[in-house]
Amino acid sequence: MSVGNLVEAVVPQMGESITDGTLATFLIEPGDRVEVNEPIAQVETDKVLTLSSRTNLLNYKDAFVEKHGMKLGLMSGFVKAAVSARQNQPIVNAVIDGDDIIYRDYIDIIVAVGTPKGVVVSVLRNPGIKNFAEVEKEINTLAEKATDGTI
């Protein structure tokens, strides 16, 4: 059905609770050849773009500071995510020695810290066996030492 410049399009069923969407981007140009099952457009829905918090995260932030004496930064989350990814894909943490692939039984992560004199990188040993607070403390200590020039 066409009304003015509007064209109604039928999109695949995306779930019972998703009923409306907005055409965000055409992935093809007029006159392009289109194969069967080739994506032709991106559709955005409110369900995908809006996520609600199930709890007041500020309460957790304050509790973390009170318990550990420091703020919880993003870097410790990235470090823990990198560890998880390496655990799920052990080949990423392996090394090649001649014709052999050696799977390591530990995971170390390199962290970079910006200082007035440049970037300093250091290795966090076995962050996978540490909790977020321990990883965050190591990162903070590394940042302080890098800034002070005592690393």
User: Over the stretch 52-94, which tens digit does the pLDDT of each residue have?
Assistant: 555 555 677 788 888 999 988 888 989 999 999 999 999 999 9
- C-beta atoms surrounding 10 within 10 Å: 5
The residue that leads in pLDDT, 17 or 109, is: 109
Within 10 angstroms of residue 29's Cβ, the number of other Cβ atoms is 6
Give the residue ranges of DSSP H helices in the chain: 46-49, 57-68, 74-88, 132-148
**pLDDT tens sequence across 43-53:** 777 665 454 55
Tokens of 84: 């998880």
Q: Which domains does the chain have, with CATH numbers?
A: 2-49 (no CATH), 57-148 (3.30.559.10)
* pTM for this predicted structure: 0.58
- Name the burial class of residue 83, with classes exposed (0-12), middle (13-18) and buried (19+) by CB atoms within 10 angstroms of its CB: buried
95 neighbors 71 (Cβ within 8 angstroms)? no
User: CA 1 from chain center: how many Å?
Assistant: 41
